[in-house]
């Protein structure tokens, strides 16, 4: 079983596996709904998707007709979306998964709507944890000052 939860851990859910590909979607609504450069959602067959706890903390926002976005009413974490009256799949936010999930993304989509500051095609440095502050300076964060 793969397990997921919100940031405050009030809500936990599980499912055996995802189906099909997943993508990094750079469209405006994925950016707004995630607060990030792109959305990453996996498709979980609805009959195998199980809320383990915290159902009372789930809040729903209908972002367009029939598109029900579920999030935690305490910590605000977006968790999954159900589309339509009898959805076959829960669209689960990959960032909420706690288990090891090994599938890699298949594509970037909606690059026509990506933010100007977002350029996944350009290589930038990566660090295992915090970079040295004189290399990369992340103001207002917990970055250690050395």
How many residues interact with Zn ion (rule CB under 5 A)? 9
42 part of the interface to Zn ion, by CB under 5 A: no
Among 2, 74, 95, 101, binds Zn ion (CB under 5 A): 74
Asked whether 34 and 82 are in contact (CB, 8 A), the reply is no
* Sole window of 16-24, 27-35, 61-69, 80-88 interacting with Zn ion (rule: CB under 5 A): 27-35
- Cβ 138 to Zn ion, closest distance in Å? 25
Q: Please name which of 113, 40, 49 lies closest in space to residue 82, comparing C-alpha atoms.
A: 49
E strands present in 1-146? 2-5, 12-15, 23-25, 39-45, 50-53, 58-64, 67-72, 78-83, 89-93, 107-109
27 part of the interface to Zn ion, by CB under 5 A: yes
Q: Write the CB contacts of 62 (distance below 8 Å, at least 6 apart in sequence).
A: 68, 69
18 part of the interface to Zn ion, by CB under 5 A: no
- Cβ 51 to Zn ion, closest distance in Å? 13
Among 18, 33, 44, 72, binds Zn ion (CB under 5 A): 72
For Zn ion, the closer CB: 94 or 143: 94
8 part of the interface to Zn ion, by CB under 5 A: yes
79 part of the interface to Zn ion, by CB under 5 A: no
Asked whether 109 and 99 are in contact (CB, 8 A), the reply is no
CA distance linking residue 59 with residue 68, whole number of Å: 10
Q: Which residues bind Zn ion (CB under 5 A)?
A: 6, 8, 10, 25, 27, 30, 72, 74-75
């Amino acid at each position: 079983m793969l397990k997921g939860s919100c940031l405050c851990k009030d809500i936990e859910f599980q499912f055996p596996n995802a189906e099909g590909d997943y993508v990094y979607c750079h469209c405006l609504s994925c950016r707004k709904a995630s607060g990030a450069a792109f959305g990453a959602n996996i498709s979980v067959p609805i009959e195998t998707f199980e809320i383990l706890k915290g159902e009372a903390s789930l809040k729903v926002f209908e972002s367009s007709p029939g598109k029900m976005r579920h999030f935690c009413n305490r910590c605000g974490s977006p968790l999954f979306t159900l589309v339509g009256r009898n959805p076959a799949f829960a669209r689960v936010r990959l960032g909420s998964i706690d288990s090891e999930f090994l599938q890699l993304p298949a594509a970037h989509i909606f690059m026509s709507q990506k933010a100007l500051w977002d350029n996944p095609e350009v290589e930038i440095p990566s660090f295992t944890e915090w970079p040295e502050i004189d290399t990369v300076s992340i103001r207002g964060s917990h970055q250690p000052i050395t």
